[in-house]
Amino acid sequence: MKENRILNGLLVLAGISILAGCGGDAPQQGGSAGEIVITGNDLMQFSPTEFTVEAGSEVTVVFRNIGRMPKDAMGHNLAILEQGTDANAFSAAAQRHRDNEYIAPEMEDSVIAATRILGPNEEETLTFTAPSDAGDYPFVCSFPNHTPAGMVGTMHVE
Reported pTM: 0.79
Q: How confident is the model at residue 92 (pLDDT cuts 50, 70, 90)?
A: very high
Q: Over the stretch 29-87, which tens digit does the pLDDT of each residue have?
A: 443 446 999 999 999 999 999 999 999 999 999 999 999 999 999 999 999 999 999 99
> Comparing 14 with 143, which gets the higher pLDDT?
143
Q: Which domains does the chain have, with CATH numbers?
A: 27-157 (2.60.40.420)
Q: Is the dihedral of CA 62, 38, 146, 140 positive or negative?
A: negative
Residue pLDDT, tens place only, 93-128: 999 999 999 999 999 999 999 999 999 999 999 999
| b/e per residue 117-135 (b: at least 16 CB within 10 A) | bbbbebebebeeebbeeee
pLDDT (average), residues 149-153: 98
As a whole number of angstroms, the distance between CA 36 and CA 80 comes to 13
Q: What confidence score (pLDDT) does residue 72 get?
A: 95
Distance CA 113, CA 28 (A): 22
